Structure 1
Amino acid sequence: MTTRIDLKLATADRHEALDQAFSGFALTTLSGYSAFLTAHAAALLPLEAHLAAADVQRKVPDWAVRTRKAALLHDLAQLGLPVPAAVEIPAIDPEGLGGAVYILEILRQSARGQLRQVATSADERLHAATRYLAEHQDLPLWNSYSAWLDEQDAARFPALLTAARQVTDVFLLAAQRHHPERLLATMQAA
């Protein structure tokens, strides 16, 4: 087996949880897509800052191309949304940074289908706010990342797995905090 396959198998339950958590966001409506972008911003923005501070660019290939902060900030501004409060980022072992990036690349893969959903919206405002979902979809980032991951020493696997799980938990928490149904219930209770 390869490190990538081992990581995929060991995080399969987390992938399913992420899919479930974000499937409840109606990406064809302004409220649903806004909540989706807000949840992603609450997780991705502090996470990318944390990874950059941990010198991820020295460990993971093409990090400068992989970041999606600017695209996400553009989309928030396009829809007139504020930058949300950040989800707390746990300490990630520097040896596991590649596992953190693994989840970000999985989310980039998921963005293809999400972009197709947004494209079906009758609301043109949403179409102008899809840089985050479309960012670098034309580049072979998954292939280059997978090749890099498979070259990693097997002794690093526990750190990679822990980091992947930590990042998944960050996105799950953000999805829970910003889920449209939760926000609606909060507003109705007020």
Structure 2
Amino acid sequence: MRDSASAVLRDRTGPAHEAVDAAYGRYRLDDRESYAAFLIAHARALPAVEAWLADRAIAFPWRSRREALAADLAVLGRPMPDPLPFALPDDDAAGWGALYVIEGSRLGGVMLARQVEEGLPRRYLESGFGPGEWRQFRQALDAAAVDQAWIARAVTAAEQVFALYGHAA
């Protein structure tokens, strides 16, 4: 393949990613109530995607962040909201596309954690990667891609996950 699957995903989902960043950029992470609303929005999306992924065999050892999110909300005195409805085609490419979004959000989360007011919980946002794990994820994604049609299905799934996060915001 000419371009790696991870590079194609990054390029083709860029507009969807930017729209989600803009939607979540309205929240103030240095304000307790706004930060709680930010976490609630994430809690409407992330557990839905993780539940869908949990029923699939994906050749990457991803780790759920649902418990970290629930713990942060509990510290803020907020319950976990019901997740939004979510489903993708039962397809290996769709699983990798979904995982691309939620694993990629770990990178942004670590940067966002720096904006959280002192004394507020950061367990969810600080649930980043260990050294080299993002590179290992991209390599596994690239190895899983079988052809351009597979990559196109992964892109479609990733865009649907970004849309779910946008709707949750």
TM over 0.5: yes
Percent of residue pairs bearing the same amino acid type: 35
Can you give the 5+ residue segments of structure 2 that lack an aligned partner in the other structure? none
Deviates further, 131-140 or 108-117: 131-140
How far the C-alpha of 1:93 sits from its partner, in A, is: 3.4
- 2:74: which partner in 1? 77
User: Aligned AA for 1:3?
Assistant: A
- 2:127: which partner in 1? 135
Q: Is structure 2 residue 146 aligned with structure 1 residue 153? A: yes
Runs (4+) off by over 4 Å: none
The count of corresponding residues between Structure 1 and Structure 2 is 164
How far the C-alpha of 1:170 sits from its partner, in A, is: 0.6
1:1-190 paired onto structure 2 within 5 Å: 1-53=3-55, 55=56, 58-63=57-62, 66-95=63-92, 96-118=94-116, 121-122=117-118, 124=119, 126=120, 129-151=121-143, 152-154=145-147, 155-175=149-169
Q: Distance in 2 between matches of 1:169 and 1:142?
A: 23
Q: Distance in 2 between matches of 1:60 and 1:100?
A: 13
How far the C-alpha of 1:137 sits from its partner, in A, is: 3.6
* Structure of higher CA gyration radius: 1
User: Aligned AA for 2:138?
Assistant: S
Q: Is this contact kept in 2: 1:25–1:33, CA < 8 A?
A: yes
Normalized per residue, the structure richer in helix is 1
Q: Is this contact kept in 2: 1:93–1:159, CA < 8 A?
A: no
Q: Distance in 2 between matches of 1:78 and 1:141?
A: 29
Q: Distance in 2 between matches of 1:30 and 1:60?
A: 38
Q: Distance in 1 between matches of 2:32 and 2:84?
A: 23
- TM-score, normalization by structure 2: 0.91
- TM-score, normalization by structure 1: 0.81
